C-alpha cells in the first residue's frame, strides 16, 4: 500500500466524501472527510491494513470552524500515517461513533464527550472517562472559554456506575488504592469462584490537565520540560515526541548530531525502564530475587544518566531544534564502559530467568490474548510484540537517527506474559547495540538549530516515538501567542489498558497483578500543576518569580 494507492482507492469508493490531501509531511496523509461517512471510511482504512492510533478533538469556534475531530491511523508496513479530519457545527457537536467497528477508539470518543461536549451516537458505552464523578454537567474543560484553573463546586450523591456483572459472578474491587497498583485506579473484577469473567475500569484519577495548561499558559520552548513530567519513566520519549511534532509542523531542521544524541537518551531510557519493569514483574509474582538483581543492574544506568545530563530522570536534554548538552569523548567512553558491564549482567539475568520453573509457571499461558484480538485492540510495544505483532515505530516510521542504525525487533508467539518477559529482555541487548552504533556513527557539528522568531500558525505535526511500553503519539496544531493551538498526547498505556479486560478473561484472580503489570501501566501518563498545601488542603498556583526563587535555592 502506498499513499497514492490509498488515495485512489478512497476516492474511487467514496468520491467527493474524501478531499485533500493537505500537504502535511512526506510520510503523512491528512484527508478531509464528510462527517456522515466517517465510520465507513474508518472501517475501510482498517480493512486496507491500517492500525488505529488515537483521535484529536479541537475547539475551532474562534476561527468559525465549529468543532474538529481527527482520527489517526498508521500503515506500519508501508511506513506512513493517515489522518481523517472532519468537523461539526458549534451548535450540534455530534459525530457518528466508530467504536462499534474499532473498539480501541472507545476511549477517544468518551474523552471528548467529557472534555469538549461532543456526542457520539452509536457508542456502545457512553459513560464518563476523564472527569470526576462530581464534575458538573455542561462544563467542558477543553473548550476555549473554560479557564485552565477552574475549580467547580463539588456535586453531592454522585457515583460512577459500574458495568453490570455477568450472571453468576461476584464483583471484587481492586483500587483505587491497592498493594498491586502503583498509582490510583479502580478495577471492578467480576469473578466466578477464582476465575475472572469480566472487568470494568475507572481511572483518570491523576489527570493533570497538561494539554489545557500548555495551550493557554506555557510557551513552545517551555513545553519540553512539562512533557518530560508526563511520565515518571519516559521523560525523553515525551520531550522528543513533542519537539518532533512541532519541528515537523514548522519545517524546522534539526542538526544531525542532535538527532543522534536524542537516540542515545531514548535507548538509555529504554534500558533502565525494561530493568525496572523486570524487577517489578518479579515482585508481583512473589520473586523478589529477580526484583533485587534487576534493580541492582539498573542502578549504574541511572548513575550514567546523571553524569550525562545532571539528573537521574528528568534530564532536560531535549528542546525545539535539538538538545541542550553534547556528548564529549570522555562521556562516550564512560557510556561504553557502563554498557559493557550492563550487557554482561543482563546476560546472567536472562540465563537465570529462562531456566526458572517458578517464573514459567506464573507467566506461561497467563494473560493470553490471541494475535487477532491484540490487533483488534491495537496493542502496542512489548505487549503487542509478545503476541506476534511485528511493529516498532523506530523501524516502521523512522525518526531522529534511527534510519542509519541497524537493530532487530524481538517478537514472541506465546501471546502471554511470558512472551512479554522475553521481548523486554531481548530488547535490552538491542538497545545496547543501538547505543554503540550511535557512539560510532555520531557526526560532528552543532547540537541546536538557530531559533525561529515565530512559528507558522495552524500547521499540523505528528510524531511517533517508540517508548519502552510502546508507541507514544504526539499531535500538534501550531497556534498563535507562541504556543500550540492544540497538543494531543497519547501514551502507550492509553491503548494497552483498553485491552486489559480481554487479557484478564478466564484467568485466575491470583494472576490479576501480573497481567495488569505486564503492560507496565503508567496511569499518570495516561491521565495526562497546582500545588496543594499540606495540612490545610488549600490549592494555589505558584507564579514565575516564586518558582525561580525555589529552583535557585537548591532544594533548601
Euclidean distance between CA atoms 362 and 350, whole angstroms: 17
> What per-residue confidence (pLDDT) applies to 531?
41
How far is Cα 98 from Cα 122, in angstroms, rounded to an integer?
8
Give Cα separations from 425 to 284, 430, 460, 491 (angstroms): 17, 9, 37, 22
* pLDDT over 80 (residue 155): no
Task: Concatenate the DSSP letters of all residues of 106-140 into one string.
Answer: HHHHHHHHHHT--B-TT-S----SSS-TTPPTT--
Cα–Cα distance, 269 to 235 (Å, whole number): 8
Sequence-ordered list of residues with C-beta below 8 angstroms from that of 243, at least 6 positions apart, any chain? 224, 318, 319, 320, 321, 463
Name which of 57-61, 74-78, 230-234 the model is least confident about: 230-234
* Measured distance CA(220)–CA(209) in Å, rounded: 17
The percentage of residues in the chain with a pLDDT greater than 70, rounded to a whole number, is: 92
User: What would the pLDDT profile of 227-271 be if each residue is shown by its tens digit?
Assistant: 898 887 888 999 999 999 999 999 999 999 999 999 999 999 999
User: Which contacts qualify for 279-284: CB closer than 8 Å, 24 or more apart?
Assistant: 280/182, 280/517, 280/520, 281/417, 281/421, 281/514, 281/517, 281/518, 282/359, 284/180, 284/513, 284/514, 284/517
0.85 exceeded by the pTM? yes
Quote the pLDDT of residue 554: 53
235, 229 in Cβ contact below 8 A?
yes
Rounded to a whole number, what is the distance in angstroms from the first to the last CA of the chain?
59
Assign residue 474 a region (left: φ > 0; alpha: ψ between -120 and 50; beta: otherwise). beta
* Lowest-pLDDT choice from 45-59, 116-130, 415-429, 528-542: 528-542
Strand pairing category for 80-88 and 28-33? parallel
* CA geometry: angle 371, 373, 374, nearest 5 deg: 60
Phi/psi region, residue 472 (left: phi>0; alpha: psi -120 to 50; beta: rest), is beta
pLDDT in tens, 416-474: 999 999 999 999 999 999 999 999 999 999 999 987 778 999 999 999 999 999 999 99
Mean pLDDT of 516-535: 62
Greater pLDDT, 358 or 368: 368
CA distance 74 to 79: 8
CATH number for the region 210-441+450-531 comes to: 1.10.645.10
Indicate the CATH number for domain 3-162.
Answer: 3.30.460.80
How high is the mean pLDDT of the chain?
90
Mean per-residue pLDDT, 160-187 = 82
Taking only the tens place, the pLDDT of each residue in 338-353 is: 999 999 999 999 999 9
Give the DSSP H/E element, type plus range, for residue 10: helix 3-14
- Domain map (residue ranges) of the chain: 3-162, 210-441+450-531
pLDDT value at residue 523: 57
Confidence (pLDDT) at 307: 93
Highest mean pLDDT among 410-419, 453-462, 478-487, 513-522: 410-419
Q: How confident is the model at residue 544 (pLDDT cuts 50, 70, 90)?
A: low
pLDDT for 1: 86
Residue-level pLDDT at 525:
60
Distance, in Å, from the CA atom of 523 to the CA atom of 544, rounded to the nearest integer, reads 28
Of 293-302, 461-470, 518-527, which range is least confident?
518-527
- Provide the pLDDT for residue 202: 87
* pLDDT, position 77: 96
Neighbouring C-beta atoms of residue 193, cutoff 10 Å? 11
- The mean per-residue pLDDT over the stretch 131-150 comes to 90
Answer whether residue 159 shows pLDDT above 60. Answer: yes
The secondary element (H helix, E strand) that includes residue 250 is helix 235-250
Range 166-184 average pLDDT: 80
Task: Give the cell for residue 382.
Answer: 512489548
Length of the chain in terms of residues written: 556
Amino acid at each position: 500500500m502506498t499513499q497514492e494507492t490509498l488515495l485512489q482507492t478512497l476516492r474511487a469508493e467514496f468520491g467527493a466524501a474524501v478531499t485533500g490531501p493537505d500537504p502535511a509531511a512526506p510520510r503523512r496523509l491528512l484527508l478531509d472527510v464528510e462527517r456522515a461517512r466517517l465510520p465507513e471510511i474508518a472501517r475501510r482504512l482498517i480493512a486496507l491494513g491500517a492500525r488505529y492510533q488515537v483521535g484529536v478533538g479541537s475547539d475551532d469556534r474562534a476561527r468559525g470552524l465549529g468543532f474538529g475531530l481527527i482520527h489517526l491511523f498508521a500503515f506500519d508496513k508501508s511506513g506512513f500515517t493517515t489522518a481523517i479530519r472532519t468537523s461539526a457545527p458549534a451548535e450540534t457537536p455530534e459525530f457518528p461513533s466508530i467504536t462499534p467497528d474499532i473498539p480501541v477508539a472507545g476511549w477517544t470518543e468518551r474523552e471528548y464527550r467529557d472534555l469538549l461536549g461532543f456526542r457520539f451516537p452509536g457508542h456502545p458505552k457512553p459513560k464518563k472517562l476523564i472527569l470526576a464523578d462530581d464534575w458538573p454537567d455542561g462544563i467542558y474543560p477543553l473548550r476555549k472559554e473554560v479557564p485552565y484553573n477552574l475549580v467547580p463546586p463539588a456535586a453531592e450523591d454522585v457515583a460512577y456506575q459500574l458495568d453490570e456483572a455477568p450472571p453468576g459472578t461476584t464483583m471484587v474491587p481492586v483500587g483505587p488504592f491497592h498493594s498491586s497498583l502503583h498509582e490510583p485506579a479502580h478495577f471492578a473484577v467480576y469473578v466466578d469462584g477464582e476465575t475472572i469473567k469480566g472487568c470494568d475500569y475507572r481511572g483518570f484519577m491523576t489527570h493533570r490537565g497538561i494539554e489545557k495548561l500548555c495551550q493557554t499558559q506555557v510557551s513552545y520552548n517551555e513545553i519540553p520540560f512539562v512533557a518530560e513530567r508526563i511520565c515518571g519513566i519516559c521523560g525523553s520519549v515525551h520531550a522528543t515526541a513533542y519537539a518532533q511534532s512541532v519541528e515537523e509542523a514548522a519545517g524546522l531542521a534539526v542538526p544531525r548530531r542532535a538527532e543522534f544524541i536524542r537516540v542515545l537518551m531514548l535507548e538509555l531510557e529504554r534500558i533502565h525502564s525494561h530493568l525496572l519493569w523486570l524487577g517489578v514483574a518479579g515482585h508481583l509474582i512473589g520473586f523478589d530475587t529477580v526484583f533485587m538483581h534487576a534493580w541492582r543492574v539498573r542502578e549504574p544506568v541511572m548513575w550514567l544518566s546523571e553524569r550525562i545530563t545532571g539528573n537521574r530522570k528528568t534530564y532536560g536534554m531535549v528542546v525545539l531544534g535539538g538538545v541542550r548538552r553534547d556528548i564529549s569523548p570522555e562521556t562516550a567512553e564512560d557510556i561504553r564502559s557502563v554498557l559493557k558491564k550492563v550487557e554482561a549482567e543482563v546476560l546472567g539475568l536472562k540465563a537465570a530467568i529462562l531456566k526458572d520453573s517458578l517464573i514459567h509457571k506464573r507467566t506461561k499461558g497467563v494473560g493470553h490474548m490471541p494475535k487477532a484480538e491484540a490487533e483488534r485492540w491495537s496493542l502496542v510495544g512489548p505487549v503487542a510484540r509478545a503476541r506476534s505483532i511485528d511493529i516498532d515505530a523506530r523501524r516502521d516510521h523512522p525518526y531522529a537517527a534511527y534510519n542509519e542504525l541497524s537493530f532487530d525487533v524481538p517478537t514472541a508467539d506465546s501471546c502471554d506474559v511470558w512472551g512479554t518477559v522475553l521481548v523486554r529482555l531481548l530488547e535490552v541487548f538491542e538497545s545496547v547495540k543501538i547505543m554503540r552504533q550511535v557512539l560510532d556513527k555520531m557526526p560532528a557539528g552543532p547540537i541546536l538549530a538557530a531559533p525561529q522568531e515565530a512559528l507558522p500558525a495552524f500547521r499540523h505535526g505528528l510524531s511517533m516515538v517508540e517508548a519502552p511500553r510502546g508507541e507514544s503519539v504526539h499531535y500538534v496544531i501550531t497556534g498563535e501567542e507562541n504556543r500550540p493551538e492544540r497538543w494531543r498526547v497519547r501514551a502507550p498505556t492509553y491503548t494497552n489498558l483498553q485491552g486489559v479486560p480481554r487479557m484478564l478473561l478466564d484467568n485466575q484472580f491470583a494472576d490479576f497483578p501480573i497481567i495488569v503489570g505486564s503492560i507496565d501501566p503508567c496511569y499518570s501518563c495516561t491521565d495526562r500543576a497546582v500545588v496543594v498545601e499540606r495540612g490545610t488542603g488549600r490549592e494555589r498556583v505558584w507564579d514565575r518569580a516564586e518558582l525561580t526563587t525555589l529552583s535557585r535555592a537548591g532544594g533548601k
